[in-house]
Amino acid sequence: MANTVIVGTQWGDEGKGKLVDLLSEHADYVVRFQGGNNAGHTMVVGGEKFISHLVPSGILQKKICIIGNGVVVDPEVLLEEIDYLIGKGIDIGPDKLKISEKAHLIMPYHKSLDTARESSDEKKMIGTTGRGIGPCYEDKASRRGIRFVDLINPHIFSEKVKTNIEEKNFLLTRFYKSSALSAEEIIKKYSVYAKRLAPYIADISVFIDKGVKSGKQILFEGAQGTHLDIDHGTYPYVTSSNTISGNACCGAGLGPRDLTDILGIVKAYTTRVGKGPFPTELFDDIGDRIQKKGAEFGATTGRKRRCGWIDMVILRNAVRLNGITGFAVTKLDVLGGLESLNICTGYEYQGRCIDEFPADLDILAECKPIYETVSGWDEDISGIRQYDKLPLNTRKYLRRIEELALTPIHIISVGPGREETILLKNPFA
Ligand code: GDP
Ligand code: IMO
Ligand code: MG
């Protein structure tokens, strides 16, 4: 039995979708445990591209896909995804997709509040995806949230909407000078979603437990990345959930004893979308070149991703916070053609070297990356499927990452396609 958690080690968009799709072949269940449709996970299969925001990336491998209680779900987006997949001939009936009855719903007022807050003060802007993620998690924590179990109880659902809308409309109109929303319209719209989604709603903790006891293998699909974690990321420039591996248990409803492997996805360089500190960010031609060659545009919002060198301070932080057992390094092909590459091994702060990631953003802003420069490679490596065939300098770059993070690399990705992969160790094997 092997149950693997896949997490992003940087600021998201490391290529989690590709790795989840690839490894799902060996899993029985694929479970999302946090985040919502702020995520954009790309899978490229047979030359065709699929971007999933809510449906777990195991769906193309025809696995049972589960949306855990820790996920915040916009039912409109979920139904669009279901319809899209049905249109592609993919079986996504209630035996293939299960949604936790305890998962919280993103409501129209969450989206309105997210965008109103972001546009109210440019200096305080986080650069959210505008999908209502933060306000939905706020309601969950303040016990005003609406869960799937409430969605299918018309009386409770309409009571909750009516109570919430009073407070939300006050905030929207009086504080943010934005427009009010109608409780009746929301109730009507969501009653249609309730009918369609009811067959998918289940007690997924019990379902997963039965699976674990009967030897089923589970893949947990993290969203965002370690440095967007609400506790451990670059707060307040973070998302509103715990993105690290420990939350796979809380967000799916199983105990930590059942997890066997934690695969940390590492982009061969670093990217970030939205605002917030980024010590190794590049503002020169090399940054532009990586952005273009790597097609670094957000899969959810289409925003240009900021690009920079690989940062071992954040990778070591990710190894510790997640208990990473192995790395999958992605987008290595994008670095081809550069004469030399920089690896950030630590930060210089007020004349001394620090190698732990600071919590204080003022300190972080003063940190200058300390770089080790290594030789690049010219070859196109996207066709290579064996480690030994990689150019010597590519292997040296990978070895140095392993040494500096004290973590083995188990998978190397050299292109977006499922098959464009060098698999050194399969966590399910
Ligand atoms: P996720 O959010 O972590 O699932 O990552 P995204 O899907 O948002 O972004 C990763 C992007 O890189 C997608 O467009 C992938 O198709 C692409 N990608 C993944 N792995 C590779 C790789 O090894 N090489 C290249 N060139 N592209 C890759
Ligand atoms: P995947 O799963 C990259 C970023 C947003 C913003 C911050 C808060 O595809 O890696 P939110 O809408 O969550 O309140 O925005 O978090 N962000 C992501 N960045 N990849 C993601 O997901 C992200 N999800 C949220 O850009 O900076
Ligand atoms: Mg993404």
pLDDT in tens, 142-172: 999 999 999 999 999 999 999 999 999 999 9
Is 160 contained in some domain?
Answer: yes
191 and 208 share a domain? no
Cβ atoms of 8 and 224 closer than 8 Å: yes
Are 78 and 181 contained in the same domain? no
- Dist. CA 258 → ligand 2 center (Å): 28
Does the beta carbon of 233 lie inside 6 Å of ligand 2? no
Report the CATH number at residue 273: 3.90.170.10
* pLDDT, tens digit, 9 for 90 and up, residues 372-387: 999 999 999 999 999 9
Q: Which of 13, 18, 243, 335 to mutate to test the pocket of ligand 1 (most atoms within 8 A of CB)?
A: 18
Pair 294, 168 in one domain = no
Closest-CA residue, ligand 2 atom 25, reads 38
Ligand number nearest to the C-alpha of 273 = 2
Same domain, 17 and 31: yes
Of 51, 301, 331, the one to substitute when testing ligand 1's pocket (max ligand atoms within 8 A of C-beta) is 331
Could you tell me if residue 429 is inside a domain?
A: no
Q: What is the mean pLDDT of the chain?
A: 97
Chain centre to alpha carbon of residue 87: 25
Are 246 and 323 part of one and the same domain? no
Cβ–ligand 2 distance for 24 under 6 Å, the answer no
395-422 residue pLDDT tens:
999 999 999 999 999 999 999 999 999 9
Quick: pLDDT tens for 309-364.
Answer: 999 999 999 999 999 999 999 999 999 999 999 999 999 999 999 999 999 999 99
Q: How far is the CA of 285 from the centre of ligand 1 (A)?
A: 21
In this structure, is residue 428 part of a structural domain?
no
Pair 119, 44 in one domain: no
Residue 152, pLDDT score: 97
- Measured CA to CA, the distance from residue 335 to residue 294 in angstroms comes to 9
Q: Domain limits at 416?
A: 267-423
Catalytic choice (21, 41, 139, 261): 41
Domain identity same for 229 and 283? no
Q: Is the CB of 128 under 6 A from ligand 2?
A: yes
Determine whether the shortest distance from the Cβ of 35 to ligand 1 is under 6 A.
no
Q: Is residue 176 part of a domain?
A: yes
Closest residue CA from atom 28 of ligand 1: 416
Residue 220 phi/psi, 5° resolution?
-100, 125
Q: Give the percent of the chain with pLDDT over 90.
A: 97
Q: Looking at residue 84, which CATH number applies to its domain?
A: 3.40.440.10
Specify the pLDDT at position 123: 85
Domain boundary among 181, 196, 211: 196
Q: Which atom of ligand 2 is nearest to the CA of 131?
A: 12
Q: Is it the case that residue 122 has pLDDT exceeding 90?
A: no
Q: Do both 63 and 207 map to the same domain? A: yes
Segment 250-258 shows an average pLDDT of 97
Instruction: Report the DSSP beta bridge partners of residue 147.
Output: 104
Helix axes 108-120, 154-170, angle to 10 degrees: 20
* Residue of 291, 330, 334 with the most ligand 1 atoms within 8 Å of its CB, for mutation: 330
Centre of ligand 3 to C-alpha 238, Å, is: 14
Establish whether 227 is a catalytic residue.
no
417 and 294 within one domain: yes
Which residue lies with its CA nearest to atom 13 of ligand 1?
A: 42
Domains in the chain: how many in total?
Answer: 3
pLDDT at 298: 87
Nearest residue by C-alpha to atom 16 in ligand 2: 239
- Ligand 1 pocket, 416 CB below 6 A? yes
Select from 258, 277, 304 the last residue of a domain: 258
C-beta of 129 in contact with ligand 2 (< 6 A): yes
pLDDT at residue number 118? 94
Burial of 46 (0-12, 13-18, 19+ CB in 10 A): exposed
Q: Label residue 192 by pLDDT band (50, 70, 90).
A: very high
Asked if residue 36 has its Cβ within 6 Å of ligand 2, the reply is no
Q: Say which residue, 299 or 93, is predicted with more confidence.
A: 93
Does the C-beta of 381 come closer than 6 Å to ligand 2?
no
Specify whether 272 is located in the same domain as 343. yes
- Looking at residue 351, its pLDDT comes to 96
State whether the beta carbon of 274 lies less than 6 angstroms from ligand 2: yes
Q: Among all ligands shown, which has an atom nearest to the Cα of 265?
A: 1
Q: Of the candidates 143, 166, 196, which is a domain's last residue? A: 196
CATH number of the domain within which 111 lies: 1.10.300.10
Residue 248 lies in a domain: yes
- Give yes or no for residue 413 CB within 6 A of ligand 1: yes
300 pLDDT higher than 90: no
What is the predicted pLDDT for the residue at 429? 87
Task: Check residue 102 and give its pLDDT.
Answer: 98
> What are the distances in angstroms from CA 11 to CA 33, 89, 156, 226, 276?
17, 33, 38, 7, 10
| 360 shares a domain with 228 | no
Give mean pLDDT, residues 113-140. 95
The reported pLDDT for the residue numbered 1 is 82
For residue range 29-38, what is the model confidence (pLDDT) as tens digits? Answer: 999 999 999 9
Which residue's alpha carbon is at the smallest distance from atom 27 of ligand 2?
274
Q: 124 falls in which pLDDT band (50, 70, 90)?
A: confident
| 43 lies in the same domain as 67 | yes
Q: Which of 117, 129, 242 to mutate to test ligand 2, by most ligand atoms within 8 A of the CB atom?
A: 129
CA distance 190 to 73: 12
Confidence of residue 301 (pLDDT cuts 50, 70, 90): confident
41 is catalytic: yes
Q: Which residue has the CA at smallest separation from atom 11 of ligand 1?
A: 15
Confidence class of residue 72 from pLDDT cuts 50, 70 and 90?
Answer: very high
